[in-house]
Amino acid sequence: MAITSDLDNIVKWFEEEVCPSILLKVPDDKVNDGGYNVQTAHPAAFAMYIPTQDRKPPDVAAPIPSLCVQLLKGKHAPAQHIGQMTIQLALATWNPGQHGSEMAVPEQDPQALGGVKYRREPSENFKRNLEGWRDVWSFTDKVLQAIENTEYIAGLRLVKENNIEYGPFTEDGALVSYYPYWFCWVQFTLEHGLARKIPADYEKLL
């Protein structure tokens, strides 16, 4: 078991199983009002840290929207040949409000997230509001659905008996606003077998 390769494989799993299923707004910090030409992209997936704009991979539209796989702690039980990793996903989105191209009429659709889809109606209007939080929670729903419906993530067993936890980012126990950015976290435990190589000094005694 190599920690770095496990993290890379977990990132790849979410990149393939979750990110293609959702489109979110790409940030433009210079224009986030009615002059913003709405652009969307699938969330990028990163390991440990979200890169800055100047350090993002060339094939990534923007550092946000994104899902970042972070290792919070690990535990080895050599006697049982089992190891566990506590994984936190940091989910990030951007949405300053409702842009013209999003002025939409809700329609029932059993295949859509929440059973509702929206028919777009062209408009030049823009409504700045704090409703952007809905994007990050829809993203969280997608992530939870994917995790709950699997037994293994990148070959590591999901320890369902430890439960899956999630929530918004807080400071000193209080909800904070990073408007127009929105953040959530999801936390769970993965388990793997330990297969350490026997040291040479011991091999000769066996």
Q: How far apart are CA 165 and CA 142, in angstroms?
A: 14
Whose structure tokens read 């535990």? 75
Convert the pLDDT of each residue in 60-90 to its tens digit: 888 999 999 999 999 998 888 899 999 999 9
- Domain with 76 in it: 3-99+128-203
Whose structure tokens read 């859509």? 112
Angle at Cα 151 formed by Cα 147 and Cα 155, nearest 5°?
100
- Give the pTM: 0.83
* Element at 6 (helix H, strand E): helix 3-17
Number of domains the chain contains: 1
Tokens of residue 51, six digits:
């890169």
| Residue 78 is assigned to a structural domain of this protein | yes
| Residue 118 is assigned to a structural domain of this protein | no
**pLDDT for position 10:** 98
**pLDDT for position 121:** 56
Contact 89, 69 (CB under 8 A): yes
Query: Can you give the CATH number for the domain in which 141 is found?
Result: 3.30.2000
Angle at Cα 184 formed by Cα 147 and Cα 149, nearest 5°?
10
Angle at Cα 68 formed by Cα 65 and Cα 70, nearest 5°?
165
| Residue 198 is assigned to a structural domain of this protein | yes
| Residue 119 is assigned to a structural domain of this protein | no
Q: How far apart are CA 159 and CA 199, in angstroms?
A: 30
Q: How far apart are CA 53 and CA 50, in angstroms?
A: 9
Q: How far apart are CA 75 and CA 77, in angstroms?
A: 7
pLDDT at 51 over 70: yes
| Residue 58 is assigned to a structural domain of this protein | yes
| Mean pLDDT confidence for 132-154 | 96
| Residue 134 is assigned to a structural domain of this protein | yes
| Residue 108 is assigned to a structural domain of this protein | no
| Residue 107 is assigned to a structural domain of this protein | no
Tokens of residue 135, six digits:
């994007």
> What are the residues whose beta carbons fall under 8 Å from the beta carbon of 39, sequence distance 6 or more?
25, 26, 28, 61
